[in-house]
Chain A
Amino acid sequence: MHSNRYCNRIIVLPFSVLLEIRVKPDNSGVVTDGVKHSMNPFCEIAVEEAVKLKEKKLIKEVVAVSCGPQQSQETIRTALAMGADRGIHVEVAGKDYETLGPLQVSKIMAALAKKEDAQLIILGKQAIDDDCNQTGQMTAALLDWPQGTFASEVSLDGDKVKVVREIDGGLETIKISTPAVLTADLRLNTPRYATLPNIMKAKKKKIANVKPADLGVDLTSRLEVLKVEEPPQRQAGVKVETVEDLVGKLKETGRI
């Protein structure tokens, strides 16, 4: 395939999620101190897709962007080890990070996409900690770009992208023009293990540091978290002897 005039640069946005969830004693949130982070699985799939497109020589450069505190750099390095060319770390720490949500991230992405002159943005469809499934869609709206979400197959064709989407009814195939936003679903690909030589090469790749203010992005949240609590504990069931007993009990508790 030639003609990468149209698809020069892809930005991927890998996020990290906690490996162990425990609610804070004051129910204000989830414990994050000292808990190990790992790249969001859907983001791994997004990075893998971007690297695959580069290996097929359909695009020239893959940029990995992550928003968060110092630890986000690890996530970027993992993306670099998988094959991304360079990284951008948008520093968001402390209180700002606790209230960082899809709206703020998509504003950052929109600003970066314009600054970096990207043709494609690929994200994971959702983060497995908050399950929002909003960042991709919001980013596309802010940029007024077409979007191919829940992608299980992506193919580039000139300046168009064919996306097969996993929807409730089955599979939907759409064709959208670049520049565009794609979000990766589970079956898009199987992410590679970072090989030793690539991990070592990743050390030399550049990660630029950027502040949200530099991009003209306001991080104030429109949401306030009132309470975080664990789901109710499973209660023991009741064993009954006959079908009549079962029907009786169901009527008793107002189920039928």
Chain B
Amino acid sequence: MALRSAVTRLLSSSQKCAAVTVSRAQGTAAATVKDKVWPHSAKEPRSKVAFNWRDALDLEGQLTEEEIMIRDSFRDYCQEKLMPRILMANRHEHFHREIVSEMGELGVLGPTIKGYGCAGTSYVAYGLIAREVERVDSGYRSVMSVQSSLVMHPINAYGTEAQKEKYLPRLARGEILGCFGLTEPNHGSDPSSMETRAKYNPSSGTFSISGAKTWITNSPVADIAVVWARCEDGRVRGFILERGMKGFATPKIEGKFSLRASATGMILMDEVEVPEENLLPNVSGLGGPFGCLNNARYGIAWGALGAAEFCFHAARQYTLDRIQFGVPLARNQLMQKKMADMLTEITIGLQSCLALGRLIDEKKAAPEMISMLKRNSCGKALDIARQARDMLGGNGIADEYHIIRHVMNLEAVNTYEGTHDIHALILGRAITGLQSFTVEK
């Protein structure tokens, strides 16, 4: 699948002969340039195991054949269909709604769910999928994470059979798009003090929901919203709201300099009448939304490393190509040290994500493990992206080189789904037994 686009490009010109010759010469020319810069394998010391900077701890060898096929097929889609769109989508802040349907066709939405038109694959495969999308753009991966972990997952985990039948197949196909409403303008890291209220009306069998949610990925174009509100008994519960319900509005947030390729907005609810069938009955309390967030955070742990890998590879190629003072930039110690640091963090990060994915598949994972890796991957990826931007010099601020877009995006990725510091507090509580979220004991 990887060769298809290259061959199509070369052979679709009418001069087939010339094009084929070009493809042959291109191979050798590239090898020659790299020979001068990077010793050819013939000169390398003969060792049984060669070090592969692209996969330093042989992640490939630890994946099943199925996981490799899933990863390869989806990587091809991302590189061939998503990469060409992202430059302009990000520059002009345009969300391509079609990608949700395209991903639905490939079966990558809600991939870990069994039944209802979903693939029912492993969590490791979900992580590999997230890594490939985020290699292109974190905004696209956010769209996928929201649909899979924050909309399909709560309906699957906490919903009734009727709700699952009604929504999941259409969400899986990308026919309808969902969003997740937890964060409020005055309550981000502290969702338990949310102000959104749900009042039950026994006469109509509906809940009246009022409140405002903000920083909601997909909301301006979403068909449904899974909204969390505090009920009269003091418990937080989840409700499925649908576009068209009176009092439901989703204004777009303007002036965003992160995740520009995905649409972000608010959810404004003014006494929205939600039928009681739309309540998610099988959970109450903040455990509900947190369960969803943990599901998404796991995907983000993999995804952020995909963005970091792109930046690392791009910086490596740039410093190999760019000649200053008569030598490629990559000849310099400062450059090599930076790349060594990037390689190390990405490789170690991926191994930890794989270990976590296997634990989740065996149902042996605790939420703090996910916090630890989400925090690590995002923090390290942001660092790597910034370093890579620096290595590209002036060109690093041009969106054509893509790195600056990842730098912008990773600021949000490091912050949402639990900031870097909040995850530190989650871990601190687990380490010491003492909570440090609030000022009271």
Contacts and interface: CB of A to CB of B under 8 A. Distances in A.
Interface of A: 17, 19, 21-22, 25, 31, 34, 38-41, 44, 74, 77-78, 81, 128, 131, 186-187, 191, 193-200, 202-203, 230-231, 233-234
A193 B106 contact: yes
A25 B32 CA distance: 15
Interface stretch (B63-71, B154-162, B299-307, B348-356): B63-71
B107 A195 contact: yes
A128 B69 contact: no
Interface stretch (B4-12, B134-142, B185-193, B314-322): B4-12
A196 B11 CA distance: 29
A200 B24 CA distance: 36
B69 A233 contact: no
Interface in B359-395: none
Contacts of A74: 65, 69
| 6 residue pairs, one from A and one from B, having the closest CB atoms | A196-B107, A196-B119, A195-B107, A194-B73, A41-B7, A197-B107
Interface in B1-50: 1-4, 7-8, 11-12, 20, 24-25, 27-29, 31-32, 41-42, 50
B370 to A, nearest CB: 23
Contact of B42 (A25, A34, A39, A202): A25
A233 B28 contact: yes
B290 interface: no
B343 interface: no
Contact of A78 (B1, B28, B108): B1
Given A77-B65, A199-B69, A203-B66, A193 B28 contact: no
A125 B132 CA distance: 32
A81 B69 contact: yes
A231 B3 contact: no
A191 B4 contact: yes
Given A38-B2, A78-B1, A193 B74 contact: yes
Contacts of B108: 196
B341 interface: no
Tell me if B's interface is mostly helix, strand, loop or mixed.
helix
Contacts of A199: 66, 69-70, 73
5 contacts: A38-B2, A196-B125, A197-B107, A200-B120, A231-B24
A19 B2 contact: yes
Contacts of A44: 1, 4
Contact of B106 (A21, A25, A77, A195): A195
Contacts of B66: 199-200, 203
A131 B70 CA distance: 29
A196 B4 contact: no
Contacts of A187: 12
A107 to B, nearest CB: 27
A39 B7 CA distance: 12
Given A77-B69, A81-B69, A186-B12, A195 B1 contact: no
Contacts of A22: 31, 41
B277 interface: no
Contacts of B77: 193
Contacts of B111: 196
Nearest to B41: A22
Contacts of A202: 69
Interface residues of B, number: 36
Nearest to B40: A22
B216 to A, nearest CB: 27
Given A22-B41, A193-B77, A195-B106, A200 B3 contact: no
A149 to B, nearest CB: 15
A166 B107 CA distance: 35
Nearest to A40: B3
B2 A196 contact: no
A199 B8 CA distance: 24
A44 to B, nearest CB: 6
A25 B44 CA distance: 12
Contacts of B50: 34
Contacts of B107: 195-198
B105 interface: yes
A200 B1 contact: no
Contacts of B7: 41, 128, 186
Contact of A194 (B29, B31, B42, B69): B69
A191 B31 CA distance: 30
A233 B17 CA distance: 19
A193 B2 contact: no
Contacts of A39: 1
B11 A186 contact: yes
B76 interface: yes
B32 A233 contact: yes
Contacts of B65: 74, 77
A231 B28 contact: yes
A40 B6 CA distance: 12
B3 A128 contact: yes
| Among A17, A19, A198, residue most surrounded by chain B Cβ atoms (within 10 Å) | A198
B371 to A, nearest CB: 28
Nearest to A233: B32
A235 B326 CA distance: 21
A41 B105 CA distance: 22
Nearest to A232: B28
B121 interface: yes
Contacts of B120: 200
A33 to B, nearest CB: 10
A234 B29 contact: yes
